[in-house]
Structure 1
Amino acid sequence: MSELDGLSRGAGKEPFFEAPQSGGLVAVDPIERHRYMLSTRERVQPKPATTEDFRFPVDTAVSVRTEAISLPSVVSVHVRDEEGAPLCEAEHFAFEELPAGRYTVELSAPIKLYLLVESPITLHATAETMRIEFGEETAVVVGARSHHDQPAATVTTTSDSEDLMRAVSTFGSALKTVSPERSFPTLRGHPPLVELGDELDLAGLEPPDSGVVIELPADRRMILIAAPLAYYLGARLVPGDEPLLRADTGFQYDLDGPLGFERTVERTLKQVFFLDCLTRTEGLSPVAVHERGALEGDLELDFAALYDRSLADQLETYLAVPFETLEAHLPKWKLTTHVEPTASSVEMLPFAVNDLAIVRCGETTNAPNPATAGVMEGDGAPIAESARRESFTRSASSGTVVQPEDTFVEPELDDSLEQMWVGEGTPVNASKAAIEAYRHHLDRTPTAGDIGITVVCNDATMDEERDFINEVYGERDELPFDITVERELTTAELKAVLSSRTDFLHYIGHVDPEGFECADGKLDATTLESVGVDAFLLNACQSYRQGMALIEHGAIGGIVTLSDVLNCEAVRIGRTLARLLNCGFPLRPALDIARDESIMGEEYLVVGDGTLSIAQAESLTANLLHIERNGDLFDLTFSAYHTSRTGMGTLVIPYLDNSEYHISTEDIQEKGLTKDELMDFFSLSDDPVKIDGKLRWSSQIGADEL
């Protein structure tokens, strides 16, 4: 008999539940590859339950009988009454008691979970675990919702500007509300897909009746830039002589301000979104947030009254606040998408807008091939040439093969956490988007089993990296990994590996633009019929073209190299990336952090969908810590990177005494920590830590090292 019993193991894409014979209930998301254990003292027998009794959307539900549920980690817990009104919230070191009643318990776990129960409730949390007690054995209905969100339909449009406006106007149909709660990522659905065609077909979709329109000249560039703002406001794009935001109350706002159209639209989106995050604290989630406390005295806004007013009235009030008053408190934006203003770029818009990205169509400059950019050491010699004397490269050829037909472009970067390029050419300092990758992500095959990691080392001289990463992947006890290590494969064997279903491929060896070097020749990925690998790291020289071929034939995202890389530097990058990916960092932020650890970091590039993670983070976000010594005390700067479970509008809290919720995800500071407080914080999860200029891991830092 299987060690798992109970309900179906999930043939479809919806979350499902497993009941281990040892007890408890495991919620599984087969698309996002997340799982979460609800422990019970006894073995439970889950039965299918209706989802209709939940006030919040859930995909599937089961009923179990138990007297208590224990969680493997401390997550944010909110308890609501029968009408949905919030009663209490619990975090680390919480203790809450509620009398007998009918409650909804919301768990912000790797899979969104809700408990329906009619009983007393006691919540008790330590630094590392949480327990929910019901007094005696009672029926508990457990509902699960995936963070994976599918577009409702596909819209077809021509390249005509007015048709493009009408197509982009359908994006707002994905909003689940036009209240300030749409600033929560879970209440912003995925916009419909867009395809170019011979005629306009809106698939029956219409934006919500928000009372807001955006007037624009017939200019493709303006349409692309305005798309995220139109989506967030549920606004229609309509033709007009000048770019204006108009409301049915008569309010209008100039979108072509002194800084120009692009920057004015960006500021408008950031300002409205941020003030929505403050106003929503008067709604369904009355949580005190740091930014509201810091600004409330300066703003003099009646947030309670604002919450109940129309969107048009809210906009008029919001946009009367000087941007400079808010600027220092705005959340760090997750993503800027730099877009070539071509008709085909509209097909990438739904994916950029789903991330609430800032869209820019600014100037780009041609950049030199990073392989010939001549990064210099102090003595004026190129670093690569100096280091080459002490290490070999991973090139399959005798020397560097420059790829002259590739055009390198360098978009004008801003201060978002991540940068993405949509268009022809190879970007410098940004990831390379590919529409095929995002479509593959939407069609990702559900998998109920362990996370599959395949390590291929096709050169015995590179065993150092193979041995290390074989230890790193799957070291987390709470996540099941299935790790396969392959060595010196033939072309037929590597083809079989690339065609087989696996979550992540870590390739170590030689690659050039013509293919992967194998024991009996080269395998060119462009000849593959299909690729079963979801994500990959091709830690070899000049792997860009082969990586793009993997994306074209079925992969979702990966990390590649633009030129030759020294073996010693490739080992350093490979080690760092393996640890970051294992901790739950998505591809794009993982590479951004790892780049700083190597003199050849700029040779590496994310291709495809950089939001993909191969493992779930221990908390809702993947966290990077910066530690500075302050005498006998320590200052902590906490940066949280969004994962598939989060997005713009997620609340973040560092679990320290007197910590507050933050809307921002970067540079959250806690000053004057003692050594004991810092070590207690390190014990909560294994996170990367920048200390004394070096990247360490919190689980490996002892008190005697501080």
Structure 2
Amino acid sequence: MIDGLSDGRVEFEVDGATLTVRDAIEGEELRLRTDVDPDLSPALPELFPSPIDRAVSFEAESLEIPEYASIVVRDVDGDHVARLDEPMDLPRGSYCIEVNGATKALIRVTDVEVSAAGAAGPDPVTLSFDRSRTVSVGGRSLHTRPEATITVPDDPAALTEAVSVLGSSMKEFTPERSWPTLRGYPPRIERGDSLDIPSPLTVPDTGVEVVVRPTYADVYRLSTLSYYLGARMTTGDAPAIRLDTGYEERLPTEGRALEERVIELFETWFFLDTLARTEGYVPSDRYAYEEVGPTLPFYPPNLTDRTMSERLMEYLEVDHETVNSYLPAWPTEAVLRPAPAAAELLSHLAHFLAPVRVRGRTDHLQPDESMAVATSPQPPTDPQDIERSGATTADGEPRSVMTPEREQMSGVPSPDTEPLRAGASALTPTAYENRLRRGVPERGSVAVALLIGDPERAQTVRASLSEPANLDGVGSLSVLAAPSPELVAETLSDSELDIAYCGAEVRSDVLDSVGGVDCASRSGEPTRDGAPALTVFEDSVDTAVGVDAIDRGGVSAVLADGRVSADRIRTLIGLLSAGYPVGTASQLATSDEGVDVRYAGDPATAVATDRGHATQLYACRPLSDDSFRVSVQSLVSTDVLSGGEFRMIKLFSDTKSTLVGTRIEAGVADTPHMLELHEEKSPVLRFPNDIVLWSDDLSAADLSEIAEAGQSDADSIASRDGPRCKD
């Protein structure tokens, strides 16, 4: 039996004593078992301390949770009580028990004593109540994909109506929406003959209006901000943001000045939301709060219950410079042509909170010309650049350091450039749709194949991938030496592969100049019916090669304009299989190879995930033969979104958190501590002249050698550059 409301994001179904919470968007189910056959009645979502999509109530004396990822006990106001990782008894009270699993469920029960059994192992958890009570169960879709598709004609005024409902995926519009799990994936946009907005989608009632001129350029530049604010987008004579307090924030009319002001406002408001949420659903204790909070003209948590317009009035008192050095990197920054076809990217870019700029011509476009390009502005930290600057803690140690290198964007890439500049990517909606369709494998199960034309080089590459140990993130690995054209075609169209590496010798022999697979299958027809999730092409600058792989079902492609050494191929595959985004992994692996890389698809794409955690890069600068100054950078990606938080590993005795996508000066570690750090599975260590994966060997002698080489390089640089002045 279904509860009769089966057109929503969450459905409830009863089969005997089993209550199934079904996530209609994800197609996933979470089961609960009761001591009686539950008789469901609707429950108010407002009963729960955090957003849910639907709720039901029934009478029960016990509840069993067979499968789950984590269970957290809160009081009915949402305050944390306990984590159910061991059996426990809860005194009489009113509780909201949060179950995270295939989807999210909240169990509310009041005026009750609770006994939790089975929480110490893999067995189901049983919640027993001291008497039969009314149990309310709420479900919230994980909402990691669009729930509907909006059709828009080639008319920017119609597009404003589509952008106005992108915020319908938001679970709420308090500062809590800065958590990625509360934003949801906006509905997709596709071009059509007329405007069609499916009836479940509505414009959020936030009291904020974004005004644009009826041009694609204006709509694109303000689309991400409009989504985040849940604003209605309307047309007018000049761009502006209107609040229901009566205030109007006028925006520049010149295009490039407009986009920079919009990005400044978005970054500032997003960051201030992350401070205002610190006493919210998931209380956090961040460095940035200690450092920025005292400089603000308001106490951030006091704004939580204010209206959107009232909060923005306060936020407008804060200059961008006040928060600039604490901002996280965004996974993606996009540059769109002011053409109708680029509209299909907007919902995907909004999901990743991507700032949008506009460049490029719109006349005489060819069908294969790119509608957009992107960069991923989170360049990895060079250990030699770690300085004792920026904000400090009370003991004088440096803390938050600006991660996004804004000067990197001083030369904004253009879709008109051929070939694209190094580090840029040809962006296509197909890549995002393929990602949603394919899913992302867990670290440890990544399938990899390498095509190397030269048998001797193939042997060297094969050895590098297995010595000193097999890469821990890889589930299956094959190195194909001197493959036939048929085998190349078969490999490059194998949708079961997560990573395919196409060596320069193979690429030049097998791929034609426009990127199609120029070889026949066994039937004699070109093989174009599939592709690995990621394909790496050596000796190529033509992004059409990568776009072709995406059109055949891939998610991303890397194009290196030369050959990569065997050791660096190991590094690249190791980083990718550990969950590093494609752009960052490529930069790290090729930075000292004299090889430039370009991409197709979002450069922040992750081809693997490590339990959903952010990947961490530990940049280590030698101070002496036995000590290193360590900086930690976490990375955002298409799977680890902006707004999440991370903590450094216990080695540094650190309890405070920071936003994902930022960098923190961790402190100084000696040789034993560095070896202990290396034993942790997640961190990757970057030294001035080397990158050490978890699968690599690292000894005290190695660290001594690294330190000696690093100090020698630092002395050489200092000698070349001359003495530095210090404050």
TM-score, normalised to structure 1, is 0.72
How many Å apart are 1:357 and its aligned residue? 0.5
Name the CA shift for 1:280/1:542 in 2 (closer, same or farther; >3 Å): closer
Q: Which position in structure 1 is the counterpart of 2:619?
A: 626
Q: Secondary structure at the match of 2:165?
A: helix
Q: Does 1:211 align with 2:207?
A: yes
Native 8 Å contact 1:57 1:145 kept in 2: yes
TM alignment of 1:399-418, pairs within 5 A:
416=404
TM alignment of 1:354-369, pairs within 5 A:
354-362=351-359
1:187-225 Cα deviation digits (max 9, x unpaired): 112222222223222233322111100112223211101
TM alignment of 1:102-501, pairs within 5 A:
133=120, 139=126, 149-204=144-199, 205-256=201-252, 260-362=257-359, 416=404, 423=415, 425-428=418-421, 429-444=423-438, 450-463=445-458, 464-469=460-465, 475-476=471-472, 481-501=475-495
1:108-147 Cα deviation digits (max 9, x unpaired): 99x887797985679xxxxxxxx96499995279999996
Native 8 Å contact 2:212 2:219 kept in 1: yes
TM alignment of 1:40-59, pairs within 5 A:
none
AA at the equivalent of 1:209: D
How many Å apart are 1:100 and its aligned residue? 5.2
Q: Which position in structure 2 is the counterpart of 1:553?
A: 552
AA at the equivalent of 1:639: Q
Q: Does 1:614 align with 2:610?
A: no
AA at the equivalent of 2:215: D
Native 8 Å contact 1:511 1:543 kept in 2: no
Q: Distance in 1 between matches of 2:655 and 2:573?
A: 31
Native 8 Å contact 2:103 2:140 kept in 1: yes
1:402-441 Cα deviation digits (max 9, x unpaired): xxx9999999997757989784544212122122222222
Q: Distance in 1 between matches of 2:565 and 2:617?
A: 22
Q: Secondary structure at the match of 2:447?
A: strand
Q: Distance in 1 between matches of 2:53 and 2:497?
A: 26
Q: Does 1:536 align with 2:540?
A: no
1:151-184 Cα deviation digits (max 9, x unpaired): 1222222232211211221211121211111101
Q: Distance in 2 between matches of 1:501 and 1:413?
A: 26
Q: Distance in 2 between matches of 1:481 and 1:56?
A: 38
For 2:575, which of 566, 580, 586 is the aligned residue?
A: 580
Native 8 Å contact 2:465 2:471 kept in 1: no
Q: Which position in structure 2 is the counterpart of 1:381?
A: none
How many Å apart are 1:640 and its aligned residue? 0.7
Native 8 Å contact 2:342 2:372 kept in 1: no
Q: Secondary structure at the match of 1:443?
A: helix
Name the CA shift for 1:135/1:560 in 2 (closer, same or farther; >3 Å): closer
Native 8 Å contact 1:345 1:422 kept in 2: no
Name the CA shift for 1:339/1:410 in 2 (closer, same or farther; >3 Å): closer
AA at the equivalent of 2:555: I
1:378-423 Cα deviation digits (max 9, x unpaired): xxxxxxxxxxxxxxxxxxxxxxxxxxx9999999997757989784
Q: Secondary structure at the match of 2:348?
A: helix
AA at the equivalent of 2:232: R
Name the CA shift for 1:413/1:173 in 2 (closer, same or farther; >3 Å): closer
Native 8 Å contact 1:513 1:545 kept in 2: no
How many Å apart are 1:304 and its aligned residue? 3.4
AA at the equivalent of 1:547: G
Name the CA shift for 1:181/1:702 in 2 (closer, same or farther; >3 Å): same
Q: Distance in 1 between matches of 2:547 and 2:558?
A: 10
Q: Secondary structure at the match of 1:320?
A: coil
1:585-638 Cα deviation digits (max 9, x unpaired): 1222211222313111x1x22212434333223671111111123456432111
1:538-573 Cα deviation digits (max 9, x unpaired): 345567544332211211112123x4x24xx34344
Native 8 Å contact 2:580 2:615 kept in 1: yes
Native 8 Å contact 1:82 1:104 kept in 2: yes
Q: Distance in 2 between matches of 1:645 and 1:315?
A: 29
Q: Which position in structure 1 is the counterpart of 2:398?
A: none
Q: Which position in structure 2 is the counterpart of 1:80?
A: 73
Q: Which runs of 5+ in 1 are unaligned?
A: 1-13, 15-28, 33-45, 72-76, 123-130, 365-404
How many Å apart are 1:58 and its aligned residue? 10
Q: Distance in 1 between matches of 2:206 and 2:213?
A: 21
Q: Which position in structure 2 is the counterpart of 1:680?
A: 676
Q: Secondary structure at the match of 2:325?
A: helix
Q: Which position in structure 2 is the counterpart of 1:653?
A: 647
Native 8 Å contact 2:493 2:530 kept in 1: yes
Q: Secondary structure at the match of 1:281?
A: coil
Q: Which position in structure 2 is the counterpart of 1:504?
A: 498
Q: Distance in 2 between matches of 1:513 and 1:551?
A: 19
Q: When the two structures are aligned, how many residues end up with a matched partner?
A: 595
1:309-361 Cα deviation digits (max 9, x unpaired): 11110111111222222222222333211122222111111111111011111
Identity %: 22
AA at the equivalent of 2:234: V
Q: Distance in 2 between matches of 1:330 and 1:144?
A: 33
Name the CA shift for 1:628/1:132 in 2 (closer, same or farther; >3 Å): farther
Q: Distance in 2 between matches of 1:135 and 1:491?
A: 49
Q: Distance in 1 between matches of 2:453 and 2:143?
A: 35
Native 8 Å contact 1:275 1:318 kept in 2: yes
Name the CA shift for 1:533/1:188 in 2 (closer, same or farther; >3 Å): same
Name the CA shift for 1:260/1:480 in 2 (closer, same or farther; >3 Å): closer
Name the CA shift for 1:471/1:534 in 2 (closer, same or farther; >3 Å): farther
Q: Does 1:605 align with 2:592?
A: no
Native 8 Å contact 1:421 1:432 kept in 2: no
Q: Distance in 1 between matches of 2:141 and 2:244?
A: 36
Q: Which position in structure 2 is the counterpart of 1:394?
A: none
AA at the equivalent of 2:489: K
Q: Distance in 1 between matches of 2:374 and 2:601?
A: 17
How many Å apart are 1:527 and its aligned residue? 3.5
Structure 1 range deviating more: 588-597 or 227-236: 588-597
Once superposed, what is the RMSD of the aligned Cα atoms? Answer: 4.6
AA at the equivalent of 2:533: D
Q: Which position in structure 1 is the counterpart of 2:396?
A: none
Q: Distance in 2 between matches of 1:135 and 1:431?
A: 44
Name the CA shift for 1:522/1:303 in 2 (closer, same or farther; >3 Å): closer
Name the CA shift for 1:646/1:148 in 2 (closer, same or farther; >3 Å): farther
How many Å apart are 1:695 and its aligned residue? 2.1
Native 8 Å contact 2:338 2:360 kept in 1: no
Q: Distance in 2 between matches of 1:345 and 1:240?
A: 22
Structure 1 range deviating more: 677-686 or 420-429: 420-429
Q: Distance in 2 between matches of 1:447 and 1:617?
A: 9
